[in-house]
């Protein structure tokens, strides 16, 4: 009892001392300085000496997004080279928050030209340009039409870049390397080969969005496939043969049908077209994504080791995310046992010369 009293007294004294010291501006500034130094140091060291192929989920959401979920984005690191597949809204904020060193960014790869896959491209460009000693414009691979998108973004940001150059100078914000350059993919096949990494683009089914691509990364015996948005695709199954990690979009018809029904009933009582259009929209999107059970079949047919559901429709939302995931995956285990949902910050590492799959999370 005596010791307990002493403990409470000590805790009280410590709390009081912390409270008093926080009244001094110099103490507050010192604490901030320590935290800032730790963040900056982190942003320069994250990607050093990497001996693996690695994928990190920088965005797992869709246009029908929910709170705190960024739209589509997967970072792939092969050795010390960084690539980013799709750059949806909110994804660059995640990349910045985790202190990712964008000096190592080699290119961004866009699967197709829907807004939820391209919205943050200008921010990615800005973040990898200012202060980064970049020696050339940022390369953006993408389907036919990517040149129009990139030309438009470049044009929209001409004045922003001019102002930043005038303000920070030629060393920190040099013009001439500040833009994005479109690299249009023609057909399918290997689109880049660098430092042991091969990236292959293959066509997927997302009509009327054509062409739409998925990408396969092969690095010294380890591999990752990212589907982009697609309905069931036999072409994807062929290109995903024996892959270590398969990131695949997925839709739950059970849930979109419930949403359609709810929207229709709201329309009946309110006569507000918003609900009627909403009901139609849930039906329209069903035909260009893959239902969960079929995704599991795709993973089985391609002999993928681990399946990761990303770009999930509807996006699991707290506090009922567990319930939603449960309904979505009822039939998955019948076809493929090794699966999970892509949470933001999830990193899956494939060490070289092994079969290991190591998981961690930036936000954990
Ligand atoms: Zn999408
Ligand atoms: Zn799409």
Residue 31 has pLDDT above 60, yes or no: yes
| CA 345 to the chain's CA centroid | 9
Distance 207 CA to ligand 2 centre (A): 9
Å from CA of 278 to ligand 1 middle: 17
Angstrom distance (rounded) from CA 80 to CA 105: 9
Going 118 to 119 to 120 to 123, the CA torsion angle's sign is positive
Instruction: State the distance from the centre of ligand 1 to the C-alpha of 232, rounded, in angstroms.
Output: 15
Cα separation, 31 vs 18, whole angstroms: 12
CB contact set of 354 (below 8 Å; sequence gap of 6+): none
> What confidence score (pLDDT) does residue 177 get?
96
**191-137-90-186 Cα dihedral, nearest 10 degrees:** -30
Ligand nearest the Cα of residue 288 is: 2
Over residues 206-225, the mean pLDDT reads 97
Domain locations in the chain as residue ranges: 53-252+291-361
In this prediction, residue 5 carries a pLDDT of: 82
Q: What is the pLDDT of residue 327?
A: 93
From the CA of 143, the nearest ligand is 2
Q: Ligand nearest 315 Cα, by number?
A: 1
For 240-274, how does the pLDDT look when each residue is reduced to its tens digit (9 = 90+)? 999 999 999 999 988 888 888 888 788 889 988 88
pLDDT of residue 47: 52
Q: How far apart are CA 314 and CA 250, in angstroms?
A: 9
Residue 220 CA, ligand 2 centroid: distance in Å: 31
Report the separation in Å between the CA atom of 63 and the middle of ligand 1, taken as the mean of its atom positions.
Answer: 7
**Is pTM, for the whole model, over 0.75?**
yes
pLDDT at residue number 44: 54
Ligand located closest to 71 CA: 1
- What is the mean pLDDT of the segment spanning 350-355? 96
Distance from Cα 275 to the centre of ligand 1, integer Å? 22
Which ligand is closest to the CA of 204, given by its number? 2
pLDDT at 106: 96
Whether the predicted pLDDT of 284 surpasses 90: no
Cα of 229 to ligand 2 centre, how many Å? Answer: 5
Residue 241 Cα to ligand 2 midpoint, Å, equals 23
Residue for token pair 């309904």: 327
Q: Is 173 exposed, middle or buried (0-12, 13-18, 19+ CB in 10 A)?
A: buried
The CATH fold assigned to 53-252+291-361 is: Metallo-beta-lactamase; Chain A (3.60.15)
For residue 194, the cross-strand partners are 197
* Ligand 2 centroid – CA 255 distance (Å): 19
pLDDT tens for 54-110 read 999 999 988 876 777 899 999 999 999 999 999 999 999 999 999 888 989 999 999
C-alpha 240 – ligand 2 centre gap (Å): 20
pLDDT for residue 3: 74
Of residues 138 and 20, the one with the higher pLDDT is: 138
- Give the pLDDT of residue 263: 84
Ligand nearest to the CA of 231: 2
């Amino acid at each position: 009892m005596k010791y307990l009293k002493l403990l409470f007294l000590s805790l009280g004294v410590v709390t009081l001392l912390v409270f008093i010291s926080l009244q001094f501006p110099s103490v507050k500034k010192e604490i901030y300085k320590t935290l800032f130094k730790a963040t900056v140091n982190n942003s320069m060291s994250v990607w050093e000496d990497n001996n693996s192929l690695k994928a990190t989920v920088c965005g797992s959401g869709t246009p029908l997004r929910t709170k705190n979920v960024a739209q589509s984005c997967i970072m792939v690191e092969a050795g010390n080279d960084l690539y980013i597949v799709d750059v949806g809204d909110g994804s660059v904020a995640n990349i910045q928050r985790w202190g990712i060193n964008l000096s190592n960014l080699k290119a961004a790869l866009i699967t197709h030209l829907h807004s939820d896959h391209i919205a943050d491209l200008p921010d990615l460009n800005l973040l990898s340009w200012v202060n980064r000693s970049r020696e050339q414009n940022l390369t953006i691979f993408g389907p036919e039409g990517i040149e129009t998108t990139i030309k438009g973004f470049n044009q929209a940001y001409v004045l922003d870049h001019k102002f930043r150059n005038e303000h920070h100078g030629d060393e920190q914000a040099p013009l001439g390397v500040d833009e994005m350059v479109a690299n249009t993919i023609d057909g399918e096949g290997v689109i880049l080969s660098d430092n042991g990494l091969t990236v292959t683009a293959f066509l997927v089914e997302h009509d009327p969005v054509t062409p739409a691509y998925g990408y396969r990364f092969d690095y010294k015996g380890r591999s990752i496939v990212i589907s982009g948005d697609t309905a069931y695709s036999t072409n994807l199954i062929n290109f995903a043969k024996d892959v270590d990690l398969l990131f695949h979009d997925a839709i739950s018809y059970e849930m979109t049908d419930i949403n359609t029904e709810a929207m229709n009933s709201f329309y009946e009582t309110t006569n507000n077209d918003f609900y009627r259009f909403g009901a139609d929209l849930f039906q329209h999107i069903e035909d260009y994504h893959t239902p969960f059970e079929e995704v599991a079949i795709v993973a089985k047919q391609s002999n993928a080791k681990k399946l990761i559901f990303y770009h999930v429709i509807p996006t699991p939302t707290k506090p009922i995310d567990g319930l939603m995931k449960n309904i979505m995956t009822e039939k998955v285990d019948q076809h493929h046992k090794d699966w999970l949902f892509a949470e933001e910050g999830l990193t899956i590492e494939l060490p070289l010369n092994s079969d290991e799959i190591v998981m961690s999370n930036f936000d954990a």
